[in-house]
Amino acid sequence: MPAKINPHLCAQCKGARRLCGRAKCPIIERLAAQLGVTEKITGTQLFGASPPSVLVGEHGYPKVRLGPLVPPVEDKKLAAYYDNPEQWYGKSIEEIIKLRSSLVRANFTVGVKEARRASKLLERTQELALSSIPVDTEVHFAKPVKPRLLFDGVISPVGPSGVVKNLTVVENPVVPRRVDALVGDYDAPAVVAVRELYEAGVSQHYITRLLTMGLLGRKIDRRLVPTRWGITAVDSMIGDYFLEKVRDFPELGEILLYSNSYLDNHYHVLLLPGSYAFEMVEIWLPRSVWVKEGAKSYIVENFELYDGKWQRADVDGGYKAMRLVAIEFLHKIKRQAMVFAIREIGPRYYAPLGVWNVREGMRHAFEKEPTRFSSIEEAVAELARRIKTPFNQWWKHAYLPKMFKMQRRLVEFM
């Protein structure tokens, strides 16, 4: 695991001296946003339009804490923006922290299998999660809500929270016909439901919400899924779905390099002619969010080959997100290829914002004009120029470019 910041530094620094080396103090940034939110809550009561949004925790599994996220605003157009990652691209870290920290989480605890026989609180939360548009929600907390600091590498930042005493969904949710049909289908496996919803144009974020709230799959299998796990699961299921088609496409006929930078996350994707394979090399530079100043860059690598062989079994959300985007793009251009993707994270990325940042950052790389090469040597040389980490540090982790370089293709003998 990457080296983490010494927790005692925060007490010494108090947000002013930047002892951790980060560009800004994520604690101060978030606390400022949350104080503004808690001032808008009247005692223990909150009324607002949920985006809609829900969060299922993983601590204590199979008993988990979950509940809706509600901003202290009634403007539905504004509320929808609070939980729509597809529209956040281009915003600064500060803007996103402020946005997400404005969502108040109403918590209660249930067992994951209670999704099949929901209590009133869970039933109302599921009702809210079904809606495709913001829903007016009234929450009564057991105690006044206090600011709470929590960042997560997969989930978007989470705002203040409180234990819910009563929850009322003030208006009827708007549920698309296809969503209603699959939520009511107790025989369709979750993977089938996810694929059919995606094919029907339902957003990935919406599908993840339905899955985490135990609203998809065979009745006997339905259960609440921690949001962190649900995000990665949906990335994986959709990626696998498109990969079935990509494997039948002809191979790419040229070497292409795509790049993009966002929030000091730098993406470089090299497409090589050949049967489908995917490799990710992730580089966390010193003073980035998980690596302290003075430490070496933390580099992690993983890959999968055409035959399904994996380098590691403990893949994370970032890997699945990048893999999905790569497979989506190959499906779009109707080609298969060997995909070598590098994500290099710099010190200005001082607070984790969730894997939506990875997914959207890489998608925008494919929207740009690629650089074309006549040989793998030229491509690797250009890649080395674009990456800040010294070549010999990351190249030893690269598997697919070396494999491509060593391969002799049948056309060479014809």
Secondary structure (DSSP) of 41-90: SBTTEEEEEE-S-EEE--TTTTEEEEEEEE-S---HHHHHHTT-GGGTTT
- Choose among 298, 354, 302: nearest CA to 323: 302
What is the pLDDT at residue 116? 87
What is the pLDDT at residue 411? 44
What is the pLDDT at residue 194? 98
H helices of 156-202, in order, are 177-183, 190-199
30 vs 100, residue with greater confidence: 100
For 76, list phi and psi in degrees, rounded to 5.
-65, -35
Q: How far is 38 from 55, CA to CA, in rounded Å? A: 19
Residue 8 CB partners (closer than 8 Å, separation 6+): none
For 195, list phi and psi in degrees, rounded to 5.
-65, -45
10 Å CB burial of residue 389 (0-12, 13-18, 19+) is middle
**CB distance 135 to 50 below 8 Å:** yes
Residue 51 has pLDDT above 50, yes or no: yes
Residue 379 has pLDDT above 50, yes or no: yes
306 vs 5, residue with greater confidence: 306
Q: How confident is the model at residue 149 (pLDDT cuts 50, 70, 90)?
A: low
Q: How confident is the model at residue 2 (pLDDT cuts 50, 70, 90)?
A: very low
96 vs 261, residue with greater confidence: 261
Please tell me the least confidently modeled range out of 60-69, 73-82, 235-244, 324-333: 73-82
Residue 158 has pLDDT above 80, yes or no: no
Average pLDDT in the 55-80 region?
92
Please tell me the least confidently modeled range out of 61-65, 95-99, 251-255: 95-99
51 vs 11, residue with greater confidence: 51
Q: How far is 195 from 103, CA to CA, in rounded Å? A: 30
Q: How confident is the model at residue 21 (pLDDT cuts 50, 70, 90)?
A: low
Average pLDDT in the 272-298 region?
87
What is the pLDDT at residue 49? 94
Q: How far is 360 from 245, CA to CA, in rounded Å? A: 23
DSSP H helix total and E strand total for the chain: 14, 12
What is the pLDDT at residue 177? 97
Q: How confident is the model at residue 3 (pLDDT cuts 50, 70, 90)?
A: very low
What is the pLDDT at residue 161? 84
Q: Which two tokens stand for residue 95?
A: 């803007």
Please tell me the least confidently modeled range out of 155-164, 201-210, 261-270: 155-164
Q: How confident is the model at residue 336 (pLDDT cuts 50, 70, 90)?
A: very high
What is the pLDDT at residue 414? 46
For 93, list phi and psi in degrees, rounded to 5.
-60, -40
Please tell me the least confidently modeled range out of 141-155, 201-215, 356-370, 377-391: 141-155
What is the pLDDT at residue 283? 96
Average pLDDT in the 66-83 region?
90
What is the pLDDT at residue 296? 83
What is the pLDDT at residue 97? 82
> pLDDT averaged over the chain?
88
Rounded to whole angstroms, what are the CA distances from 350 to 50, 94, 160? Answer: 28, 10, 20
Residue 313 has pLDDT above 60, yes or no: no
Q: How far is 149 from 146, CA to CA, in rounded Å? A: 10
Residue 184 has pLDDT above 60, yes or no: yes
Please tell me the least confidently modeled range out of 133-137, 143-147, 225-229: 143-147
Residue 121 has pLDDT above 90, yes or no: yes
Q: How far is 341 from 322, CA to CA, in rounded Å? A: 8
pTM for the model stands at: 0.88
